[in-house]
Amino acid sequence: MHVLLIAQYFPPDLGGAATRAYNLAKGLFLNGCEVTVVTAFPHYPHGKIPREYRWKPVRVEWLGKIKVIRTFMPPIKSEGFLRRIMLIGSFAISSLFALPLIGKIDAIWTSSWIPGIVYSKMKKRPLALNEDDLTLEDVVDLGLIEENSLILRIAVWVYRICLLKGDLVTPISPGYVETLSKKYWVKENRIHVIRGGVDLSIFKPSLSRKKSGKKFVVLYSGAFSVAYDFVQVFKAAKIVEELDGDVEFVFQGNGELLDSMRSMVNELNVKSVKIIDRLLSREGVAELLNQADVLVLPLVEFKKPYRGMSSKLYEYQAVGKPIICCSNGLPKDYVKESNSGLVVRPGDCEAFAKAVISLKENPVLAQMMGENGRKYVETEASIEAIGLKMKDIFETLTQKHR
């Protein structure tokens, strides 16, 4: 079976969408599928297009035996509503440049709906529409737009039309199913939850031991986006450094909040915070995670319990480290169910500080939680497992399509 994946974001881009596309591509390949990926030039979140891609409409690469076709993207930083729309529109057009390079395919999976719908019509092949986030619901919950605004009502109708064009929908979270079926009119038999997953061959516990005298490291790795409350962690770091000077808080990544993060650290005069403004390969991220003692997911407080599932959690669990999860939604339930970390209410910096101290002073508890997380993803969220599930769904779908 030859599967075409269409995704605006793909490594080395940051964020869950890029991770999701990579994991599914490799998972399908490991289950015997031929895989072609159509994606944009690396651009997220910084907007800096690498030199080797400039002034080219398309570039073909290989990720092992996976064919990756990258198409033009303008050098625009991903911040603000208008710029994001421009980037989405640019890929919707430039992704069509790859059409002559595709060849014969059996099925299409897409996280970029408009290009996916166009390819499906032109290739006459079944289409799976991915749902990484309930974007419209998230912008309301974050207070970025009014719930009854005209633009939101129009967007809901556009979403409904797009979702009806797919043969099936693959949300990453079971928390999305009710909204997809009731609000967007997607029949439940067309909804198949496919987890974000994690590449266990890359994200795994390191065998090397910690050096003596090394500080206790609390780490966040990923996009610096509005979905995360870094201020809570900075204030917690201030509390912790007054109690224990042997703790360091590290933030690695890039994104629209970078400047405000640096300003807040200076304003609070926190000495124990280190911001690494650098993008890393998948292997580099795994190595960095292994150097930490605790990994954090500091989600902001949404108006309603958060229904999504961050792929970051799977990577954190895979390296066998305990997690501090700030959430009042599904991630909270997931961490508790897997017993892989401590849960803190979003915005509660004192509780966050207590969680850090608790894990530092109880290494046996921290190790147990890290081991629990690793065992959980080995059985529930490996890329081999999600690839097999997606392959089985596609095989059934293509038989019906014929």
Domain layout of the chain by residue ranges = 2-197+382-401, 216-380
The CATH-assigned architecture of domain 216-380 is 3-Layer(aba) Sandwich (3.40)
d(CA 67, CA 98): 12
Give pLDDT, residue 144: 67
How many Cβ atoms are within 10 Å of 381's Cβ, its own excluded?
23
Residues 6+ away with beta carbon under 8 Å from 133: 16, 308
Q: In the CATH scheme, what is the code of domain 2-197+382-401?
A: 3.40.50.2000
Report the range of poorest mean pLDDT among 110-124, 139-153, 166-180, 227-241.
Answer: 139-153
Taking residues 336-344, report their average pLDDT.
95
* Tokens, residue 36: 């072609």
Taking residues 113-132, report their average pLDDT.
93
Give pLDDT, residue 143: 67
Return the higher-pLDDT residue of 13 and 207. Answer: 13
Give pLDDT, residue 208: 60
Q: Fill in the DSSP letter of residue 43.
A: -
d(CA 43, CA 11): 10
Q: Indicate if the pLDDT at residue 55 is higher than 90.
A: no
Asked if the domains at 2-197+382-401 and 216-380 fall in one CATH topology, the answer is: yes
8 Å CB contact between 369 and 101: no
d(CA 26, CA 64): 10
Furthest C-alpha separation in the chain? 67
Q: What share of the chain in percent tops pLDDT 70?
A: 96
How many Cβ atoms are within 10 Å of 20's Cβ, its own excluded?
24
Provide the mean pLDDT of the chain. 90
Placement of tokens 């075409």 in the chain: 4
Query: Position 251: which residue type?
Result: F
d(CA 184, CA 158): 10
DSSP-assigned states of every residue in 54-98: TT-SEEEEEETTEEEEEE------S-SHHHHHHHHHHHHHHGGGG
Return the higher-pLDDT residue of 24 and 309. Answer: 24
Report the range of poorest mean pLDDT among 39-48, 73-82, 347-356, 374-383.
Answer: 73-82
Give pLDDT, residue 211: 44
Give 3-state DSSP helix, strand, coil % of the chain, rounded to 5. 45, 20, 35
What DSSP element (H or E) covers 278?
none
Q: Nearest to residue 294, comparing CAs of 363, 196, 239, 236?
A: 363
Question: pLDDT, tens digit, for every residue of 279-305?
Answer: 888 899 999 999 999 999 999 887 777
d(CA 32, CA 49): 33
CA 324 to chain centre: 17
Give pLDDT, residue 212: 43
Q: Indicate if the pLDDT at residue 213 is higher than 60.
A: no
Tell me the backbone φ, ψ of residue 279, rounded to 5 degrees.
-85, 145
